[in-house]
Amino acid sequence: MAEFKVNVPVVSDQPTIEVTFGATSPPLKIGRHTFRLEVEDNSGNKSQPDQVVVFVADTEAPTAILTAPRQVPFGQPIPLSGERSIDAGGGNIVRWIFTLTDLQ
């Protein structure tokens, strides 16, 4: 495994490596990231660089956490809150959709 930092080459004698991140280099943010590869032969000749773009995507659904009082006086407003909801996948919650699903 190789710990990557921006614009710091990682040299390997193997053709395949795994991108990891440590305490000083957190995981890549969601979005577009470019990796570059150059190879060198046993005579010291270097290739032209090749690049690949990798999109880091948020593929985990957020978790909705709804809080409300268990009882309110008749005719009073009912406060509903989704502020404790989280998106552990790295995204940001941008919309809260509240729906009344039952009338007794």
The residue extents of the domains of the chain are 1-57, 60-104
Q: Identify which of 32, 28, 56, 20 has the alpha carbon closest to the alpha carbon of residue 10.
A: 20
Query: What pLDDT is attached to residue 69?
Result: 97
Q: End-to-end alpha-carbon separation of the chain, Å?
A: 58
> Which residue ranges in the chain fall short of pLDDT 50?
none
pTM above 0.85, yes or no: no
Cβ neighbourhood burial of 1 (10 Å; 0-12, 13-18, 19+): exposed
